[in-house]
């Protein structure tokens, strides 16, 4: 709707201005329950260009969405505010209110008139009988518009009907004399035309939404997916690391919505925002959305050091579209590098602040200006399908690629397109010194050095191409990142983890067994060993074809499996191997660590650590792991073993084990443990796998035998 404020600007520029001109605006909206029905409540405020006029008549006309609100005037509540609600010298109210709804849907109009008391009009303008309209904004009335639609997605469609208000406002200028205010009025540009009626924020009222059960009490439930309007500057107030939900979201053009650290917001519908300054995502916050080219400001805190020898590196990405035209000035005060796949080399980008950045690539930075810096990314955010920049040359293949979104991404999500790409990811630990750390890796549900399936906002990571590659993703890989996602999947069967500690620096390797693995490098199950810092211990296993791995998946075997290890360290030091997750193997599996330099063999079931003194020049291949009888979990069959499911219960009958204590385990098809507990066999016995649903594998381990069977939990 055309706003009369344009006319005012023209008059100001020409040097003239009307006298006694009224201005109107909306303010302080909220959702409030009145008489057991939700209402959109808001103030109509007024001011005058000059002081000294006493209001006689204010006629307010509002367009409104005839399907969103009740069309009966008596259901709309109008409350006079402040001095407009007080009594005059005759004991009557200074002003009376009349209200009607006229017209035919969908063009009905709410009409409101505020009129002075005729019994005191002969007294002329005075503060005892009338109210002066100030030159600053003041609230005239509060209107409560009763909602007829309770879905939370309906639009208000409320705006001043300017043509019905211009030329109809009066002030009392003498005894029984009234004068029209200057025509036209001035109307603030901010209205409720496109505002959602599910949830509102205004500074004076805070957050409010539909669905409350108590009259005159504001309600808020971030777990309810309702459409939301941010009227004035607001912050998400949901519990940390718990998603606040909004179906559609409108941020008004003069408002700012901030996502503080550890706050999450999921917008499942349309997100409407005008400029990058109106939506701010602080470091550690997360946004899931589905609208293209939404502008935002994303802040990410990066640690650093003024000691240039500390070499505290970060793998970083630019979570904006190419249309943002990001430049290297984003990383001002830092050394910035990109990576060339064909040579396997890092390339310094120099000191220029105007080097264009390719948002389809990852970068490495090292901030030397202090202990930390905030990198600010401003522009349209990535959304939907995104394809990274990848290539392949024989003998190389490592590509540094970005997380392009304003949220974490899940490497295990099935929507990735990984053509010619191994299934492992590699990340340098954030801010770790280059000489005293090791890469994080993750593949097939297993991580080393703290690696998980989740790649944070603003993070880049290495992938390895094995042929002409394509790596792309879409919104389904996006998640709000929290390690609590792992709580139900805290172990993987038949997996051994060794942590090497030396000089207060660690490295970690994993050997696991899988039915689909081989003794050679498996792109879906294995992760290469990437060399870490020069002062850090380096521990890996070696495949049959001589490749060093940090995660090594091997096939099951009925006989002995021998795994050569590789250990190196560039200093003389005391080293401790700490072995964990031995309990993931059946109790009848024996595992030994052999030290051929000292001619020692350690039963890891009896001692889960091994300490030794390392000397520079020691043989790197001195250690071997020996596994005896790590068998695949093939289904057991036979008349004496019965296993079936009822709802979320697994029921078991094994007559030969009646009364015996056994260990029962259930795994999902990715190998994560769902249940692991002790059980006494009876006829029948049962255990619960709630809340798991889907296919799984049950394993029952007795003293002398292992039973297993695939099941489906509805």
Tell me which of 247-256, 309-318, 639-648, 651-660 is least confident. 639-648
* pLDDT for position 600: 95
Domain spans, the chain: 5-187, 199-210+218-291, 301-380, 491-627, 642-713
10 pLDDT tier (thresholds 50, 70, 90)? very low
Q: Which fold has domain 5-187?
A: Immunoglobulin-like (2.60.40)
Best CA proximity match to 94, nearest among 46, 127, 134: 127
Best CA proximity match to 551, nearest among 425, 412, 460: 425
- Stretch 253-282: mean pLDDT, rounded? 98
Is the CB of residue 539 less than 8 Å from the CB of residue 497?
no
Bond preceding residue 126 cis, omega within 30 of 0: no
DSSP line for 487-551? TT----SSEEEEEEEETTEEEEEEEEE-TT--SS--TTT-EE-----TTS-EEEEE-TTS-EEEE
* pLDDT for position 486: 32
Cβ burial, residue 685 (10 Å; 0-12/13-18/19+) = middle
705 pLDDT tier (thresholds 50, 70, 90)? confident
Query: Is the per-residue pLDDT at 8 higher than 90?
Result: no
670 pLDDT tier (thresholds 50, 70, 90)? low
Residue 318 Cα to chain centre, angstroms:
16
Is the CB of residue 306 less than 8 Å from the CB of residue 368?
yes
Best CA proximity match to 96, nearest among 74, 76, 118: 118
Is the CB of residue 469 less than 8 Å from the CB of residue 388?
no
Chain segment 400-414, per-residue pLDDT in tens:
999 999 999 999 999
Distance CA(198)–CA(192), nearest Å, equals 13
Chain segment 46-89, per-residue pLDDT in tens:
999 999 999 999 999 999 999 999 999 999 999 999 999 999 99
Tell me which of 165-179, 396-410, 440-454, 656-670 is least confident. 656-670
Half-sphere exposure of 534 (CA within 13 A, CB side): 3
Query: Is the per-residue pLDDT at 13 higher than 60?
Result: no
Is the CB of residue 64 less than 8 Å from the CB of residue 102?
no
* pLDDT for position 346: 97
Question: Tokens in use for 392?
Answer: 């392949």
Residue 222: which region, alpha, beta or left (left: phi > 0; alpha: psi -120 to 50)?
A: alpha
Backbone φ and ψ for 141, nearest 5 degrees, come out as -145, 160
Chain segment 567-576, per-residue pLDDT in tens:
999 999 999 9
Strands (E), 414-474: 417-421, 425-427, 432-433, 440-443, 446-448, 454-455, 460-473
Distance CA(541)–CA(43), nearest Å, equals 71
* pLDDT for position 697: 80
Q: What is the DSSP letter of 155?
A: B
351 pLDDT tier (thresholds 50, 70, 90)? very high
Q: Rounded to 5 degrees, what angle do the CA atoms 76, 155, 101 make?
A: 30
Query: Is the per-residue pLDDT at 653 higher than 90?
Result: no
Query: Is the per-residue pLDDT at 709 higher than 90?
Result: no
pTM recorded for the entire structure:
0.86
Percent of the chain with pLDDT over 70: 94
Query: Is the per-residue pLDDT at 93 higher than 60?
Result: yes
Alpha-carbon radius of gyration of the chain: 35
Chain segment 571-611, per-residue pLDDT in tens:
999 999 999 999 888 878 899 999 999 999 999 999 999 99
Instruction: Please give the residue that has the higher pLDDT: either 53 or 559.
Output: 53
Distance CA(94)–CA(172), nearest Å, equals 12
Distance CA(675)–CA(696), nearest Å, equals 11
* pLDDT for position 632: 60
Is the CB of residue 707 less than 8 Å from the CB of residue 636?
yes
Query: Is the per-residue pLDDT at 249 higher than 90?
Result: yes
Query: Is the per-residue pLDDT at 18 higher than 70?
Result: no
* pLDDT for position 671: 67
Query: Is the per-residue pLDDT at 484 higher than 60?
Result: no
* pLDDT for position 488: 33
**Which of the four CATH numbers 3.30.70.260, 3.10.20.740, 2.60.40.3080, 3.30.2350.10 does domain 642-713 have?**
2.60.40.3080
Stated length of the chain: 714
Best CA proximity match to 459, nearest among 444, 443, 481: 481
DSSP line for 569-584? -SS-EEEEEEEE-GGG
Pairing of β 206-209 and β 234-235:
unpaired
- Stretch 638-649: mean pLDDT, rounded? 77
Best CA proximity match to 202, nearest among 406, 45, 49: 45
List Cα–Cα distances, 535 to 77, 345, 572, in angstroms: 74, 21, 11
Q: Work out the mean pLDDT of the chain and round it to a whole number.
A: 92
Query: Is the per-residue pLDDT at 684 higher than 80?
Result: yes
Query: Please, what's the b/e burial string for 197-216 (b: 16 or more CB within 10 A of its CB; e: otherwise)?
Result: bbbbbbeebebbbbbbeeee
- Stretch 337-349: mean pLDDT, rounded? 97
Chain segment 438-478, per-residue pLDDT in tens:
999 999 999 999 999 999 999 999 999 999 999 999 999 99
Cα torsion through 65, 70, 72, 73, rounded to 10: -70
Is the CB of residue 162 less than 8 Å from the CB of residue 1?
yes
12 pLDDT tier (thresholds 50, 70, 90)? very low
Bond preceding residue 106 cis, omega within 30 of 0: yes
Q: What is the DSSP letter of 657?
A: G
638 pLDDT tier (thresholds 50, 70, 90)? low
Best CA proximity match to 629, nearest among 563, 559, 553: 559
């Amino acid at each position: 709707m055309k706003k009369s404020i344009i006319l005012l600007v023209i008059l100001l520029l020409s040097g003239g201005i009307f006298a006694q001109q009224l201005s109107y605006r909306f303010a302080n909206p909220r959702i409030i329950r009145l008489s057991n029905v939700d209402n959109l409540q808001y103030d109509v405020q007024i001011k005058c260009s000059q002081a000294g006029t006493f209001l006689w008549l204010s006629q307010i006309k509002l367009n409104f969405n005839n399907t969103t609100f009740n069309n009966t005037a008596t259901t709309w509540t109008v409350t006079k505010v402040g001095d407009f609600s007080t009594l005059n010298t005759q004991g009557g109210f200074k002003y009376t209110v009349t209200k009607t709804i006229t017209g035919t849907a969908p063009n009905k109009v709410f009409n409101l008139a505020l009129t002075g008391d005729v019994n005191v009009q002969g007294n002329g303008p005075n503060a005892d009988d009338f109210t002066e309209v100030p030159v600053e904004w003041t609230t005239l009335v509060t209107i409560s518009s009763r909602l007829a639609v309770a879905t939370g997605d309906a639009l208000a469609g409320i705006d001043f009907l300017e043509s019905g208000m211009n030329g109809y406002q009066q002030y009392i200028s003498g005894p029984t004399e009234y004068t029209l205010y200057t025509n036209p009025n001035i109307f603030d540009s901010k209205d409720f035309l496109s505002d959602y009626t599910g949830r509102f924020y205004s500074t004076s009222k805070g957050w409010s939404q539909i669905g409350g059960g108590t009259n005159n009490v504001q309600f808020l439930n971030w777990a309810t997916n309702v459409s939301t309007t941010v009227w004035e500057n607001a912050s998400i107030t949901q519990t940390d690391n718990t998603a606040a939900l909004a179906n559609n979201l409108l941020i008004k053009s003069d408002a700012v919505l901030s996502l503080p650290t550890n706050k999450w917001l999921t917008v499942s519908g349309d997100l409407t925002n005008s400029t990058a300054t109106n939506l701010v995502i602080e470091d550690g916050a997360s946004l899931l959305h589905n609208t293209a080219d939404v502008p935002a400001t994303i802040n990410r805190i990066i640690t650093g050091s003024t000691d240039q020898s500390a070499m505290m590196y970060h793998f970083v990405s630019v979570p904006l579209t190419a249309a943002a035209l990001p430049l290297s000035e984003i990383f001002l005060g830092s050394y910035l590098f990109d990576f060339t796949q064909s040579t396997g080399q890092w390339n310094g980008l120099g000191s220029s602040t105007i080097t264009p950045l390719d948002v389809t690539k990852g970068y490495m930075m090292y901030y030397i200006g202090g202990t930390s810096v905030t990198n600010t990314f401003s522009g349209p955010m990535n959304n939907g399908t995104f394809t990274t920049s990848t290539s392949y040359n024989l003998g190389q293949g490592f590509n540094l690629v970005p997380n392009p979104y304003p949220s974490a991404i899940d490497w295990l999500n099935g929507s990735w397109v990984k053509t010619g790409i191994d299934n492992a990811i590699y990340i340098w630990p954030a801010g770790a010194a280059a000489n005293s750390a090791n890469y994080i890796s993750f593949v097939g549900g297993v991580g080393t050095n703290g690696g998980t399936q989740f790649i944070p906002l603003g993070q880049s990571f290495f992938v390895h191409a094995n042929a002409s590659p394509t790596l792309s993703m879409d919104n389904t890989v996006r998640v709000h990142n929290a390690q609590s996602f792992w709580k139900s999947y805290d172990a993987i069967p038949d997996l051994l983890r060794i942590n090497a500690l030396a000089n207060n620096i660690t490295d970690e390797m994993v050997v696991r067994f899988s039915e689909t693995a081989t003794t050679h490098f498996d792109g879906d199950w294995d992760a290469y060993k990437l060399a870490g810092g020069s002062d850090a211990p380096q521990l890996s296993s070696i495949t049959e074809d001589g490749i060093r791995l940090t995660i090594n998946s091997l096939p099951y075997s009925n006989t002995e499996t021998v795994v050569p290890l590789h250990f190196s360290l560039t200093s003389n030091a005391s080293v401790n191997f700490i072995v964990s997750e031995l309990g993931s193997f059946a109790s009848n599996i024996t595992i030994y660590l052999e030290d051929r330099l000292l001619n020692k063999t350690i039963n890891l079931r009896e001692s889960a650590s091994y300490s030794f003194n390392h000397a520079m020049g020691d043989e790197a291949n001195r250690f071997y792991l020996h596994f005896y009888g790590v068998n695949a979990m093939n289904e057991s069959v036979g008349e004496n073993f019965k296993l079936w499911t009822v709802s979320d219960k697994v029921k078991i009958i094994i007559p030969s084990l009646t009364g015996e204590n056994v260990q029962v385990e259930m795994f999902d098809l990715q190998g994560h443990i769902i249940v692991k507990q002790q059980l006494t066999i009876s006829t029948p016995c049962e255990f619960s796998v709630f809340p798991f649903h889907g296919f799984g594998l049950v394993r029952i381990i007795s003293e002398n035998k292992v039973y297993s069977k695939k099941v489906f939990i509805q």
